[in-house]
Chain A
Amino acid sequence: MSMPDHLDIDEAEEERPRSGSRLPASLRRDQPLVPVDSVAGRALVVVIAILTFLAALSAGAALLAARASEQWRGAVANEMTIQVRPDPRRNIEQDIARAVELARAVPSVAEARPMPRAESDKLLEPWLGAGLDLVELPIPRLIVLRLSSSSANDLVAFSQTLRREVPSATLDDHRLWVRRLSTMASTIILAGVAVVLLVLVAAGLAVAFATRGAMAGSRDSVEVLHFVGATDEFIAREFQTRFVALGLRGGAVGGLAAIIAIALLGFLSSAWSATPEADQLQALFGAFEIGWSGYAVVILVAAVVAAIAGLVSRLTVRHYLRAMG
């Protein structure tokens, strides 16, 4: 604005307009229009951090279950067993030999290995105890088949041939186990995803309430912004910027805490790997390690929480401004 030189607004302290505009280096010039460092803002950061931590842990657990399930299915799907039941009318060794012969003729079977009697007896030890003479018991014998490919269409025909040629033998393709494992893993994954979604909804609601509180506290400022020509869009953007910043801070803290917690659990599980409990856990879940993709998911959860904070605050502000108008 070009101002006349002759205006005597204050003779004592009048400074004539000067060209140029050297500002003090310490002058704050781009403060957010919505105050950021309020007590409510800090409380919201803590709430978002806790929710992000829980969501990230849930996502990590779901990922761990998915990876373990994949490992189980991979191991089980590449293997089949033929079970040969003892029949007093038949020679079991001949049946085993015939079944192995038939199996080796199937193209998708890479290897057929009859399990020695001693080895199959050992499988019963956990249930029956060691040192028992199992010779008199009618214990079925097993033939372990290793498959060369997962698309084994010839196995249906093989199953029928086996039933016809060796009536005491049955082919177990582990479908039941795979189905059960898949169901269990899917349940864990779904529960993890549901928890993540619930936590994101809770984060959204927390931000909505905080935004309404901030709007109510800044009602005068909002009115002034309107009077100086700010559009609803501009005001909503200012609030959104504030809440994205709060969401990012909370998300970063919560995500970092989750990463540290997961890494710590991985470290502890590897440190205790010699114990029987750790072995059981390892058998069930594999290594307690979510990998880079898992850490990326944790960071993604934190980013989604921040994005939700921005989006929800924007929608809340627009709604509030419409109600004000």
Chain B
Amino acid sequence: MVRFENVGLRYGMGPEVLKDINFSIAPRSFQYLTGPSGAGKTTLIRLVLMALKPTRGLVNLFGQDVSRLEAATLTDFRRRMGVVFQDFRLLDHLTVYENVALPLRVLGKEEAGYRAEVVELLRWVGLGERMHAVPAVLSGGEKQRAAIARALISRPQLLLADEPTGNVDPGLGRRLLRLFMELQSLGTAVVIATHDIALMELYDAPRLVLADGHLHVDA
């Protein structure tokens, strides 16, 4: 599903922030992406999302080399991925319902066609009573769940979650982890970027460890 070969990235003429990155993500797999703060976890996620171009190496997504992707294919690939940002990135002027429905709305679907699905997912993540709220009045945990629901609504093949438990208490963090495990069992490949060792000890899964710009896989 995702394959990186000797990928390197530098910003401008600066030093390489990611060096010789090699890893792959199989369908229906579960892995952590870990490393100290500033190690480049978010940068690596942005590379997978094609928001950044590598300065060298090969990035292969869904069987295609991304360096030769057409704009339409890039959009199609992004629709097959769900992403939970560390800072949630909810649209402030939209309600929780509208934020979660966003991936379906950009597909051009009619609101009546996805209403039941969105409501069901919102109830599933415990936001059934908060669907009319705007992000400004949500707690950190609620924003986190809204961001997760938005990432899941289009049933992605790959879920990338950047520090999804970074803003919630340990109890909610554990519950969110169970949610991600459940997603994996439903067929989604899950990558959780975290530096929370306690969280990773709750569920054993391969770890992609980033340090000093290098990545090694700790199986």
**A contacts, CB < 8 Å to B:** 1, 3-4, 7-10, 13-21, 23-24, 26-31, 33, 35, 220-221, 223-232, 234, 325
Contact B89–A9 (Cβ < 8 Å)? no
The reply to whether the CB of B13 lies closer than 8 angstroms to some CB of chain A is no
Proximity string of chain B (91-105) to chain A, C-beta cutoff 8 Å, 1 when within and 0 when not: 101110110011101
Contact A231–B75 (Cβ < 8 Å)? yes
The reply to whether the CB of B198 lies closer than 8 angstroms to some CB of chain A is no
Contact A227–B172 (Cβ < 8 Å)? no
> Within the complex, what minimum Cβ distance (angstroms) separates B159 from chain A?
13
In addition to A9-B126, A15-B128, A228-B103, 7 A-B residue pairs with Cβ atoms within 8 Å of each other are A18-B123, A27-B131, A27-B132, A28-B97, A220-B89, A227-B78, A229-B154
Proximity string of chain B (153-191) to chain A, C-beta cutoff 8 Å, 1 when within and 0 when not: 111000000000000000010011011001000100000
Contact A231–B89 (Cβ < 8 Å)? no
Contact B95–A31 (Cβ < 8 Å)? yes
Contact B91–A33 (Cβ < 8 Å)? yes
Contact B95–A230 (Cβ < 8 Å)? no
Give the interface centre of A17, A227, A230 by most chain B CB atoms within 10 Å.
Answer: A227
Contact B98–A29 (Cβ < 8 Å)? yes
Contact B93–A17 (Cβ < 8 Å)? no
Which chain A residues border B150 with CB–CB below 8 Å?
228
In the complex, residue of chain B having the shortest beta-carbon distance to the beta carbon of A220:
B89
Interface residue ranges of B87-143 to A (CB < 8 Å): 89, 91, 93-95, 97-98, 101-103, 105-108, 111, 115-121, 123-126, 128-129, 131-132
The reply to whether the CB of B202 lies closer than 8 angstroms to some CB of chain A is no
Give the residue of B106, B125, B186 whose beta carbon is less than 8 angstroms from that of A234. Answer: B106
Q: Is the interface of A mostly helix, strand, loop or mixed?
A: loop
Whole-angstrom CA separation of A190 from B152 in the bound complex:
60
Whole-angstrom CA separation of A14 from B128 in the bound complex:
9
In the complex, residue of chain B having the shortest beta-carbon distance to the beta carbon of A38:
B93
Contact A14–B126 (Cβ < 8 Å)? yes
The reply to whether the CB of B51 lies closer than 8 angstroms to some CB of chain A is yes
> Within the complex, what minimum Cβ distance (angstroms) separates B45 from chain A?
10
Which chain B residues border A31 with CB–CB below 8 Å?
93-95, 98
The 3 A-B pairs at the shortest CB distance, nearest first, are namely: A229-B79, A21-B116, A230-B106
Which chain A residues border B107 with CB–CB below 8 Å?
229
Whole-angstrom CA separation of A24 from B132 in the bound complex:
8
Given contacts A29-B97, A221-B91, A228-B103, contact A15 B172 (CB under 8 A): no
> Within the complex, what minimum Cβ distance (angstroms) separates B202 from chain A?
14
